[in-house]
Amino acid sequence: MGRHLFRDIVAAALKDQVKWCDKAILLSLSLYTLVALPSASHDTCIQHLINSVRMTILLRGSAFITGAASGIGQQTAIAFAQHGVTQLALADINQDALDISARSLKKQFPHVHVLPVHLNVRNSMQVKEGIAKTIGKFGRLDIAVNNAGISGSGRKTHELDDDEWLGILDVNLQGVYRCQKEELGVMVNQEDLGPRVGRGRIINVGSIFAVVAPNNQDHTAYTTAKHGIIGLTKADANSYGPLGIRINAICPGYVETPLLTSIMSRDPDSPLAVDLSRTPLKRLATMEEVADAIVLLASPMNSYMQGASMICDGGFTSN
């Protein structure tokens, strides 16, 4: 029965358009099902396996990611491809880095359709055209990750000029608003694929400074913008939840980058090093860890979370 069951589950999975099924996973699940459900009917076993594969792979469909040419956005694109997304629109202001990222992703995952989208989140028309280009290519938008952002200079409020203040808010808050506005405009008109998937999912990338203020660091504009992302996430989660659209935020702590590592090695008494010493896990997050948290927020395994801010900070804000 095992051989026939494996053959039939592969056929059923392909018929169900689960084309990204991994045969090793299917075989393992088949063997598990034979042991766990020895007296179950053939059809029951097949349905059990289909459901198990869906929850194991986590994701499918299309995704749109801003700030996708580097950092968290780039790693999220990789994680999405690893977990079943087969249509990826990568958006970024840096055309050269975007092209490199898109080629690299396509080389790693030949079965994934990759669409580079050059845009500036400060430009409403470019955002609108970027979303339209994504829909024109893929026909649907299942997942959106609004990640593009800048850090600013770290001046005190009385030292800031209006251009710097408004510039940081324009990218970090209004940029998220512009993207979310267009994403929602598409999602409300899509077919609802059921309570686990809905019409779409949006993940906004905040920061630990969306929930607390930095110690001994002057990032007033950045902190204000990131707090605003949480407000936007909650407000639209309430408005669009009844329509089958899930909206949540991820709030990463300090993430390992060459710049942060260099700062801490040069100055063990820097505000960053002091903050890290207060983090219970005593280390920086990796890009992969943050991307994995975003995968969870986007997945059907997290289908009852709405308007929430997932803090991924090694315990920093709890200490």
Per-residue pLDDT tens over the stretch 186-211: 999 999 999 999 999 999 999 999 99
pLDDT of 17 higher than 60: no
Specify whether 177 is catalytic: no
Query: What pLDDT does residue 269 have?
Result: 82
Query: What pLDDT does residue 271 have?
Result: 82
* Tens-digit pLDDT profile for residues 121-165: 999 999 999 999 999 999 999 999 999 999 877 788 999 999 999
Contact indicator for 192, 142 with CB cutoff of 8 Å: no
CA angle 54, 74, 287 (to 5 degrees): 85
pLDDT of 119 higher than 90: yes
Query: What pLDDT does residue 137 have?
Result: 98
Q: Over the chain, what is the mean pLDDT?
A: 87
Structure-token match 């694109």, residue found:
77
What is the strand order of the sheet 87-92 is part of? 113-118, 87-92, 62-66, 143-146, 200-205, 245-252, 309-312
One of 128, 177, 181, 222 is an active-site residue; which one?
222
* Range list of H helices, the chain: 2-15, 23-36, 42-57, 71-82, 95-108, 124-138, 162-172, 174-187, 220-240, 258-266, 271-277, 287-298
Contact indicator for 287, 75 with CB cutoff of 8 Å: yes
* Tens-digit pLDDT profile for residues 57-75: 579 899 999 999 999 999 9
Query: What pLDDT does residue 16 have?
Result: 44
pLDDT of 96 higher than 80: yes
**Looking at this protein, which amino acid is placed at residue 316?**
F
pLDDT of 47 higher than 70: no
Question: Which is nearest to 205 in space by CA: 272, 290, 94?
Answer: 290
* Tens-digit pLDDT profile for residues 206-226: 999 999 988 877 889 999 999
Query: What pLDDT does residue 68 have?
Result: 97
Query: What pLDDT does residue 149 have?
Result: 94
CA angle 213, 231, 159 (to 5 degrees): 40
One of 32, 106, 177, 226 is an active-site residue; which one?
226
Q: What letter does residue 245 receive in the DSSP assignment? A: E
Query: What pLDDT does residue 88 have?
Result: 99
35 vs 251, higher pLDDT? 251
Cα four-point dihedral sign 149, 226, 298, 131? negative
Query: What pLDDT does residue 127 have?
Result: 99
Specify whether 282 is catalytic: no
Query: What pLDDT does residue 35 have?
Result: 55
